[in-house]
Amino acid sequence: MPTTLRRLLLLALLALLAGAPATAASLADANAAARDFVRATMKARGIPGLQVAVVRDGRVVFSESHGLANVENRVPVEPTTLFPINSATKAFTGVAVMQLVQAGRVDLEAPISTYLADLPPAWRGIRVRQLLAHTSGLPDIVDAQGLVGTGAEPDAWQAVAAMPLQAAPGERFAYNQTNYGLLARIVEAQGAMPYAAFVAEHQFAPLRMRRSRFGDSYDLVAGAATVYSFLPRRSDAPGMPARLSHWFYDVPQGLWAGGGIQTTADELAQWLVALMQGRLLDADVRERMWVPERLNDGSVGEWAAGWPMAGTAPHREVTSMGGARAAFRIYPDDGLAVVVLTNLVGADPQDFIAGIAGFYRPAPAGGPAPNGDDPRVAIRCAASACHAPAVRK
């Protein structure tokens, strides 16, 4: 580990042990330390561009943009630069479903056949909550090559419907995109509008998230960051050195609920403030959303309603991440949240976001791990497993 990054991680540990900053001067110190930490982490991980925002006690106390949104044209990251959050979109879908629960239009315990017609017989008894928590047992509409079947979305749904269940509903956790494609249909049926329109009307618009949108890297969008990767190209010979190159990802419209949002750190921070303040969901409904699903044997699953779960003691943590390049984490009992958006597949900000939080929050038992990774996070997402379908070209 580079010396500078090691020193900053030590500072994060000391900040945790010292407690959260309480004065303007100490907040300025925390922001300066967070800035140095971010810059050192970008250098160590080869991250071209990044946005970061920290929310504390209902306001954004730190928000910065670093590096390049487009490397080849030397376009800097601006506060308005759009970044894909990929599977972190599932948190927005969780909120959308819970808004319908709050309105009395969806029951988490109801079989999905209550809201969706023409389902395969084996799917009809699956509960809404099991879709949200990836415990449905459904086969995945996405495989290593992309959508199953011919690659067209309608054919993919036909193909996955013909597959057997992978497990009995509630038997085990298995992350897949089929769950959230079906949740989008439930939102559309019970919200009386297309999924994306429902999220825009009930989440983006009230918070003036004017830049936030749905799409993928094939869309031509002004001010959107180019996504990069150091992963080998298909044509590379074995042993070729890693090199930065474009990464293309494709999210079909029917799977937007699982990975289609593009946004900015500032707009995402405002969304987190609204969520924490009870403006998107009543507090009791929000807390229900963050309760991890229990499996049939009584053990605790790995997800709640749209959210992968992190540690619970002594400070609760709720984390969402996507594409191995975007993450946000909420510390509900500390009034703290951190957002990190990058344009590098494999940046894995969920692995260093605790280092940023460490400058702003009280110490947990034991403090952070020496390498900046937080050992309490229960979910780790590999680039191939925890983002919406991607096509490498």
Among 185, 175, 251, which Cα is nearest to 213's?
Answer: 251
Say what the pLDDT of residue 98 is.
Answer: 98
**Could you give the C-alpha distances from 158 to 112, 140, 327, in angstroms and in order?**
18, 12, 33
Say what the pLDDT of residue 267 is.
Answer: 98
341 with 51: CB under 8 angstroms? yes
Domain range list for the chain: 3-88+194-357
Q: Which ranges of the chain have pLDDT less than 70?
A: 1-25, 235, 237, 310-314, 362-393
Share of the chain above pLDDT 70, in %: 84
| Contacts (Cβ under 8 Å, ≥6 apart) of 81 | 49, 51, 65, 69, 223, 224, 225, 264
Q: Evaluate the CA torsion angle 33, 39, 44, 47 in order and state its sign.
A: positive
pTM, entire model: 0.86
CATH architecture observed for domain 3-88+194-357 = 3-Layer(aba) Sandwich (3.40)
Is the omega angle on the peptide bond into residue 241 within 30 degrees of 0, that is, cis? no
pLDDT digits (tens, 9 = 90+) for 82-96: 999 999 999 999 999
Task: Supply the DSSP string of 124-137, one letter for each residue.
Answer: TT-BHHHHHTT-S-
